[in-house]
Structure 1
Amino acid sequence: MQSIKINFLKFIILGVFFVGFTSISKSDDIILRNADSLRGLSTDETSIREFFGNVWLIQNDLDLKCDYAKQYLNSNTVDLIGNVVITQRTMILKSPKIFYNGNSGVAIADNGVALRDANSYLEAQKGTYSTKAYMADFFGDVFIEDDSVKIYSDNVVHNRTTRESFATGDVWIFGKYTNVVMKGDTIINIPKDSYSISMGNTVLFKIDTVRRLDSIFVEEEEQFLSTYLMSLDTLSISCDTMQAYRFIGNEEYFFDGNVQIVKENIKAIAKSAVFYKNQNIIILRDKPIVWYDSTQLFSDSIVLELTDNKLKKLSAFGNSIAVTKLDSLDNERINQISANDIFIEFDDGKINSLRGNVNASSLYFFMDEEGYNGVDRKSTDSIQVEFIDGEPENIFWIGSSVAEFYPENVIFGKISSYFLPAFKWSDIRPEIKKILFDRKEKARQF
């Protein structure tokens, strides 16, 4: 995967420099095919021709059409003005004004530009296109669309031959056959491999609800600007670097560095993670933490399983501990279960059961009508906890057990000294991400 990224970047760099060193031959001359009228001007330094009305110029496999053209014969360049259309086999390039260099084969548009190919469409405020390297470099509110995605960004370098795109600056990718949206500072999209990599301020959204915040009509541009807020029951996963393989019916996403997950009352952090979208499974690795309401789960790795858009099961493997704060105002009354592996099942969004397997220990605080009256600590082979309406109802210690009870007058003032050896707690949890997509909604113009 790393070699794909590096080779793609090398190809872009080589392609851009290649066009500047192309040899000039007679076949590179720009030739007039049609114009309603023309006039010429020659000096000691240059020869200029002007063409008016239904202008049609050609160069090799290029057709250049416009309302008016000014050709500089000595430099083999031409200004194309008014309804400019350049075609190259299946490619069509449009702009109100284009400067074209016949030697380098580069077309430059500074007043809006759009490009359509067999499978791709691009538009932007400005851009250049190399007719020899088949490379487009568009910038300023860029929009690109192919048969599987729509991309919005500040800049895109697009390879027509491979259909690969290198996008930078507030990049958004919307899949046409998925409810997953990708955002990042830099995204490389490689359609032939159904592969994308996002770097810098990367966020994935699995959108289940999208709420339109506003829609404002802009008179100067005669169109609506729509703003969306992706939150509510949306799943968001942010990280340093994300790699995506998006095949129809099989999507896999790999996250590295500072992974943070938020979905309603589920929050998690990890160093790395994998999201198997079609199986609704998220695997967290490298000392992850999962928060669910007032419960925290720590382990070497944790698997989240979702069903019908709700958390169905948490499976923690290796050095696991689940802790639940009894009172948000009391930082010491925290029930604890530790084990090698812990499995928590949910029913309709509430904890239904918890099981700790292998070297299990528990610490539970007791209370009555008068308040807390002590703590119970046990060690056993396995622990099973049954819940009713999200609250623990029955606890079973399975296997050989060692039990200890400490009354309130013994533990008072030194409660934390009775905590389980594996105890952990973290108040640093991910915040709900409310990221706006406030670009203009776009569609193909031709």
Structure 2
Amino acid sequence: MKKILFQILLYTTLTLCQHGGEPIIINGDSLVGKQVNGENIREVIGNVVLTQGNVRITCNKATQYLAKNDALLEGNVIATQDTLTIKTERGFYYGDERITESKSEVTLNDRRMTLTALSGEYHFNERIAYFNRHVTLTDETSTLTSNNLTYFRQEEKAVAVGYVTIRDSVNIIKADSLVHFRNSKITFAEKNVRIKNQKENTVIFGEHLEDYSKKNYSVMTDKPVLVQIDTTDSGDIDTLVISSVKMESFNDSSKKFIATDSVKIIRGLFASKNAYSIFYRNEDKIITMKRKPEDNFPVLWYNLTQLTGDSIAIMLNDNQLDRIEVYGNGLILSSNADYETRYDQMSGDMITIYFDTSGINNTEVTGNVLSIYYSYEGTEPNGLIKASSQKGRIFFEDDKVNEVKMYSNVLSEYHPENLVTGNELSFALPAFILINDRPLKDDLIWNIIKKYKVLIND
């Protein structure tokens, strides 16, 4: 095979015709042409400048494969197109497709955005970047990392796949895949999603997230669970867990959080099941309610006490239960650990439960009050008292009913023990209902650990 070798020293300008397209122009200090395995190649060495339309690439050395119209670029490779800059140590440029590729560390800068990875390619015509392995995208407000990322310059959209994390000043979002619009600050995340609010120490787990940062609004669907870890005044860890079908977070002045459908709430000795809950984070207040006639009424448990009504408001003070208010068709049941079938009961239009550091202090019931209170002599049962009035009050000691008082239009009747024993459940108020499927915190937390393979504060 006859080899052709020529070398032009000093400054050389080489124009190569692209296959039916715009010509590539290469400038350099020297040029060497040769034929290897029947293929014509040309090497341009020193201060190399390659241009094709609005694409400009500089490097230390370029090897042009004439038949393929490709070029191997080596040493301080810098490619530019309008505001875009790509830097790497070694890469390829495919002239027919106007694509540059690097299997070395590569950095892409575009105005206020920087994209880095261990390998990547950029399509100049389509203005799309495909970056792989240890990808990082940073801009003025957030940092995104992933295994793979596709960036659409025209839309300023990033599509990330594989161990995705995006961080800003408030939130950290993790997911299997994520779509992020830089201009609108809208993010969609899919599968194994976690969003952590660093200021409020909350984490929401789920399978689908939509985050609208400019609107201060986000929504999580498909088995979402919220976990918030607080510390009590005594230094104990107090964890709030909420699960539902849909969760919405408003980070505006209202600072509210809404859980919808099949809602479960657990915090310390407190638990609830309901159809709709609003958590006002600034006010330390949770409201649960029925929104539709077919919804189940909200139910709440605290230690041995069950509470139901049309709507329930839970007030906190310094991360401690302060009081609970029940509006409409309220019913409070308190069980006795020694006599499982004996439930002290009181119903009314409104119920207010007051707490102190030891638990429930007292309960006030107003409007059409009905009550059943079991009597004891010491620890021995001694019948029950049925009563009605316009107002009633239950006093607790060690979270057990200690005394019941009725006020205004009081009517009462005593039922002796011999008529009560074995017939306890027949002595029930019209509103009596016993709900046994109390949610357990350990079950919800364990489900998170099993599914996401992380600790809840990871």
Aligned residues: 394
Q: What SS does the aligned partner of 1:423 have?
A: coil
State how far apart, in whole Å, the 2-side matches of 1:83 and 1:36 are. Answer: 17
CA contact (8 A) 2:304 2:399 kept: no
State how far apart, in whole Å, the 2-side matches of 1:280 and 1:94 are. Answer: 43
Match of 1:52 in 2: 74
Q: Which letter does structure 1 place at the counterpart of 2:137?
A: L
State how far apart, in whole Å, the 2-side matches of 1:28 and 1:240 are. Answer: 54
State how far apart, in whole Å, the 1-side matches of 2:343 and 2:401 are. Answer: 14
Q: Which letter does structure 2 place at the counterpart of 1:313?
A: R
Correspondence 1:268 to 2:290:
no
Correspondence 1:420 to 2:429:
yes
Match of 1:430 in 2: 439
- C-alpha spacing 1:283/1:296, structure 2 compared with 1 (3 Å): same
Cα drift, residue 73 of structure 1? 0.8
Matches within 5 A, 1:242-391: 242-247=247-252, 250-286=254-290, 287-327=297-337, 330-369=339-378, 371-391=380-400
Cα drift, residue 207 of structure 1? 1.5
Cα drift, residue 98 of structure 1? 0.5
CA contact (8 A) 1:28 1:60 kept: no
Match of 1:220 in 2: none
Q: TM-score, normalised by structure 2?
A: 0.81
Cα drift, residue 371 of structure 1? 2.7
Cα drift, residue 30 of structure 1? 6.3
Correspondence 1:159 to 2:181:
yes
Deviates more, 1:119-128 or 1:100-109: 100-109
Match of 2:29 in 1: none
Q: What SS does the aligned partner of 1:110 have?
A: strand
CA contact (8 A) 2:60 2:76 kept: yes
Correspondence 1:170 to 2:170:
no
Q: Which letter does structure 2 place at the counterpart of 1:336?
A: Q
Cα drift, residue 369 of structure 1? 4.9
State how far apart, in whole Å, the 2-side matches of 1:257 and 1:299 are. Answer: 17
Match of 2:57 in 1: 33
Match of 2:43 in 1: none
- C-alpha spacing 1:170/1:28, structure 2 compared with 1 (3 Å): farther
CA contact (8 A) 2:105 2:117 kept: yes
Cα drift, residue 438 of structure 1? 5.2
Matches within 5 A, 1:74-85: 74-85=96-107
Q: TM-score, normalised by structure 1?
A: 0.83
Match of 1:17 in 2: none
- C-alpha spacing 1:42/1:339, structure 2 compared with 1 (3 Å): same
Q: What SS does the aligned partner of 1:119 have?
A: coil
Match of 1:146 in 2: 168
Q: Which letter does structure 2 place at the counterpart of 1:418?
A: F
Cα drift, residue 334 of structure 1? 0.8
Cα drift, residue 112 of structure 1? 2.2
Q: Which letter does structure 2 place at the counterpart of 1:35?
A: C
- C-alpha spacing 1:403/1:439, structure 2 compared with 1 (3 Å): closer
Cα drift, residue 407 of structure 1? 1.2
**Cα deviation digits, residues 158-207 of structure 1 (max 9, x gap):** 00111211111111112232222222211111111111111112122221
- C-alpha spacing 1:263/1:204, structure 2 compared with 1 (3 Å): same
- C-alpha spacing 1:325/1:271, structure 2 compared with 1 (3 Å): same
Cα drift, residue 130 of structure 1? 0.8
Q: Which letter does structure 2 place at the counterpart of 1:400?
A: N
Cα drift, residue 53 of structure 1? 0.4
Match of 1:123 in 2: 145
Structure ranking higher on relative contact order (CA contacts 8 Å, 6+ apart)? 1
Q: What SS does the aligned partner of 1:174 have?
A: strand
Which aligned runs of 4 or more in structure 1 are off by greater than 4 angstroms? Answer: 24-30, 437-441
Cα drift, residue 350 of structure 1? 1.4
- C-alpha spacing 1:439/1:29, structure 2 compared with 1 (3 Å): farther
Q: Which letter does structure 1 place at the counterpart of 2:301?
A: W
Cα drift, residue 387 of structure 1? 3.0
State how far apart, in whole Å, the 1-side matches of 2:115 and 2:62 are. Answer: 24
Cα drift, residue 376 of structure 1? 0.9
CA contact (8 A) 1:77 1:100 kept: yes
Q: Which letter does structure 2 place at the counterpart of 1:137?
A: V
Q: Which letter does structure 2 place at the counterpart of 1:235?
A: L
CA RMSD of aligned residues (A): 2.4
State how far apart, in whole Å, the 1-side matches of 2:178 and 2:303 are. Answer: 42
State how far apart, in whole Å, the 1-side matches of 2:303 and 2:272 are. Answer: 12
State how far apart, in whole Å, the 1-side matches of 2:355 and 2:455 are. Answer: 41
Correspondence 1:42 to 2:52:
no
State how far apart, in whole Å, the 1-side matches of 2:226 and 2:377 are. Answer: 46
For residue 109 of structure 2, the aligned residue among 83, 87, 110 is 87
Which structure has the greater CA radius of gyration?
A: 2
- C-alpha spacing 1:140/1:65, structure 2 compared with 1 (3 Å): same
- C-alpha spacing 1:260/1:51, structure 2 compared with 1 (3 Å): same
**Cα deviation digits, residues 388-441 of structure 1 (max 9, x gap):** 444434322111122111112223332222211111111101111323465699
Match of 1:236 in 2: 241
State how far apart, in whole Å, the 2-side matches of 1:295 and 1:379 are. Answer: 21
Q: What SS does the aligned partner of 1:424 have?
A: coil
State how far apart, in whole Å, the 1-side matches of 2:85 and 2:221 are. Answer: 39
Q: Which letter does structure 2 place at the counterpart of 1:145?
A: R
State how far apart, in whole Å, the 2-side matches of 1:440 and 1:403 are. Answer: 54
Q: What SS does the aligned partner of 1:167 have?
A: strand
CA contact (8 A) 2:334 2:400 kept: no
